[in-house]
Structure formats: C-alpha cells, structure tokens
Structure 1
Amino acid sequence: MSLHLDEPHSGDLAGRLNWLRAGVLGANDGIVSVAAIVVGVAGATTAIAPILTAGVAGLVGGAISMALGEYVSVSSQSDSQRALIEKERRELAEMPEEELAELTEIYRVKGISLETARQVAEELTAHDALAAHLEAELGITEDAVVSPWQAAGASALAFTIGGVLPFAAILLAPESIRVFATFVAVLTALIITGTLSARVGGNSWVRPTLRIVVGGTIALATTFLIGTLLGTSGVV
C-alpha cells in the first residue's frame, strides 16, 4: 500500500489550522483597528504627536484586549476538555465492561461488523483505553488541550504584528501622502492576509479577500471622515 506523502495524516492538523487561522484573524484585527484609529486622528489634525499617542494607545490596548479575550475563551474551553477527560478516566476505572461495549457500538454504527468492532475495541483498549475513548467519543486527545496562556500570547502577538504596519506607515510617510500611504499599506496587507486565510481553509481567495478589503476600506474611510469633520468643525 502506497502512502500519499503529500497529504497530512497527523491527528492535530485541525488544531494547527485553527491556530494559523486565529493568527491571521488576529493580524487582520490589528491592521484594521490601529489603522482606523490613526487615520481618524490624522483626519482631525496633521500634528504627529496626537497620531503617535493614539496609535500607541490603540496598539497596546488592542493587544491586551485580544489577549484577555482569548485567555477567557480558551480557559473555558480547556476547563471543559479537562473535565471530560477526567470523567472518561473515571468511567474506565469504575465500569470497564460498559465502556468496552460503548466503544464497540461506536465502531459498529460506523459500518463495521459486530465481531470486527468488538475486536477493534478490545485491541484499542489494550493499547490505550483512555486515548481510544477520547478519540472515538469526544474527538480529542489529552495533548490537544490548549493552554490559555499560549493562546493569549499568540493572539496579542498577531494583533501587534498586524497593528505595527499601519502605525509605521502613517508615521514614516511624508505628511502630504500620509493618509494615502496608510490606505495603500493597509489594503495591501489585507489582500495578503485574506488570501492566506482562504488558502488555509482550502477555499477560493477571491470572495473572502474581497470581503475583508471592502470591510477595511469602509472602516478607514468612515474614521477618516469622522476625524475630518471633527477637525474642521473645531470640536477638536
């Protein structure tokens, strides 16, 4: 039997794809959020100090917010996973025959004959009973429990990496093309991340990339318009 070496067979592939997708989405959030803030301020004033202050505040505040949100979310998920693992471990210790029958039934329902399903269940139980039940019943492994701290750190890092781009663009570009340069940098970055996100999901890149580019354009145009109106009205 030949193996398809170009196809992923690792059980944690879905987890890795989720991490990559979360990283791309975090970077998108950083790009759009920070860009909207600095462009909005730039619409109200050409002074670099307010733009710098707003950009730093948006970058730091956004990264912390992303980290906290991810930490709370993943903590709840990991707590639930650990509770399920402990429940399964306890059931295997207290009622091994019932658990073996349950595992047999899972494979029988999938289309395997009763005799074969029983043999598979017995062999998997002898090898690693807990792992067999976690995979068949819950679709998880003990190693798949995500660390909230890692998730929080990755989310904050992705947001920061994305947010640095528009921040640098508006600070480094000449005043006369400051906002235009930021628009170009942001939309280019969104095209890249949108395409990457689509590729990760195995989808066509055109529609998802168009959605994120249109959304980013609306966000930047809206904040710039609001900043300009506030600046010209003398409110700020």
Structure 2
Amino acid sequence: MAATTQSSSEPKPSAVFPLKDIEKQQPLELESQAVDYTARAQWLRAAVLGANDGLLSTASLMMGVGAVKTDVKTMVLTGIAGMVAGACSMAIGEFVSAAAASALAFGVGAAVPLLGAAFVKEYKVRLGVIVAVVSLALLGFGALAAILGKAHPVKSSLRVLFGGWIAMAVTFGLTKLVGSTGL
C-alpha cells in the first residue's frame, strides 16, 4: 500500500458553526454608553406602585370596616371587593400605558392584607396581623421603589411605612367615629 500524503496547498476540511452569540453581533458602542435601567423598567415601577396602592387601599378599607364590624367574613369580603374594584379601576384608568402590570400588581398588593386577615378569628389579633404584614410589605415596596429610582432605600422605606400607617389609622379612626355616632 502506498501512503498518501497531503500537500500543504490542499485546503484542510473545517467545520462552520453559525455565530449565535448575540453580544458579538451587536455593535461595541454599548460599552461606552451608560445604560439607563430606570427608563427600561417603567413596567416594574408601575408594578411596584400598583402593589403599594393595592396594599394600602385594601388594608385601609379592611381596617375601616373592621372598626365597626368585627367578624372575619365581613372584613375579608370587604377586602375582596376593594381588590377587585381597585384592580379594575387601575386597568381602565391606565389602559394605554402599563395597565396590565399595575392592575396585576394591585391585586398582588391587595392580597397581602387579605391573606393576613382571612385565617385569624380573634378581632384584635386580626387587626394586629393586618398592620404587621402590611408594614413588612410597605418596607419591601419602599425599598424596591428606592432601588429602582436610585434613592436612599432606608429613607424611602420609612416614608412609605409611615404614610401607610397614617392611611390605615385615619381610615380606622374616621370609620370608628362615624360608626359610633350612628350615621
């Protein structure tokens, strides 16, 4: 048998792999430009604000009704009605922009006080649970909003927390006052 030798002038077989690395296909100009994540995350901002709205309005509504009606069923039904009404209102009100994200987020935020209250039979404990779970959620939403807005997370969280406490206290107090006067 004769040995065959390949001459250096013959082309060597090579495999061709399609380039699927999208980063290599993009222009390298992106490295020199600053990426504005705040502008890119408008839907996330709408979701955080929607969740905060759902959390506060539903908790305040439940606290207000809880000032005059102490049973679980009434508080939970009030919370569900507030959640549905608020989500529909946000979806209709912001139909053109980020409505789906904010309406869904409203429902998620509204579910926090509902889940906190639904399984607690004792009236005063139920009110405490609502305040506790809503306070934790307010701190989280405040921190997330601050991070997205490139603000100080502690200051923002505390501002949102105190605002939420005021909203719940005013709603509870006014409803208690109106309910006790028989109006």
TM over 0.5: yes
> Separation in 1 of the partners of 2:157 and 2:88?
27
1:52 maps to: 76
Q: 1:28 aligns with which of 40, 52, 75?
A: 52
Matches of residues 156-235 of structure 1 in structure 2 within 5 Å? Answer: 156-175=103-122, 176-235=124-183
- Which protein shows a greater Rg? 2
Gaps of 5+ in 2: 1-27
Structure 1 residues 49-97: Cα deviation after superposition (integer angstroms, max 9, x where no partner): 321221111000000011111114x3xxxxxxxxxxxxxxxxxxxxxxx
TM-score by length of 2: 0.75
Q: Does 2:107 match 1:65?
A: no
2:19 maps to: none
> Separation in 1 of the partners of 2:92 and 2:83?
14
Higher helix share: 1
The answer to whether the 8 A contact 1:66-1:156 is kept is: yes
> Separation in 2 of the partners of 1:161 and 1:33?
12
Distance 1:6 1:213, change over 3 A: farther
Gaps of 5+ in 1: 75-150
Q: Identity, % of aligned pairs?
A: 41
> Separation in 2 of the partners of 1:173 and 1:16?
41
The answer to whether the 8 A contact 1:36-1:220 is kept is: yes
TM-score by length of 1: 0.59
Displacement after TM superposition at 1:174 (Å): 3.5
The answer to whether the 8 A contact 1:44-1:229 is kept is: no
Displacement after TM superposition at 1:48 (Å): 2.4
C-alpha RMSD over aligned residues: 2.4
1:79 maps to: none
Structure 1 residues 191-215: Cα deviation after superposition (integer angstroms, max 9, x where no partner): 0110111111222112221211111
